[in-house]
Amino acid sequence: MRLRPGQHLRRQSDIRDVRQKGIRVDCRAFTLWWLARPDVAAARRACFVASTQAVGKAILRNRAKRRMREIFRRHQGLLPGSIDLMFVARSQVNNWPFAQLDRAFTDACGRMASPSAP
DSSP assignment letter at 81: S
User: What single string gives the DSSP state of each residue in 5-16?
Assistant: GGGB---HHHHH
Per domain, the residue ranges of the chain are: 5-108
Tens-binned pLDDT, residue by residue, of the chain (118 aa) = 677 888 888 899 999 999 999 999 999 999 999 998 887 667 889 999 999 999 999 999 999 999 999 999 999 888 877 899 999 999 999 999 999 999 999 999 888 766 554 4
Q: How far apart are CA 61 and CA 55, in angstroms?
A: 6
Is the domain 5-108 a CATH 3.50.50.60 member? no
User: What phi and psi values does residue 19 have, to the nearest 5 degrees?
Assistant: -70, -40
Q: How far apart are CA 89 and CA 82, in angstroms?
A: 23
pTM as predicted = 0.86
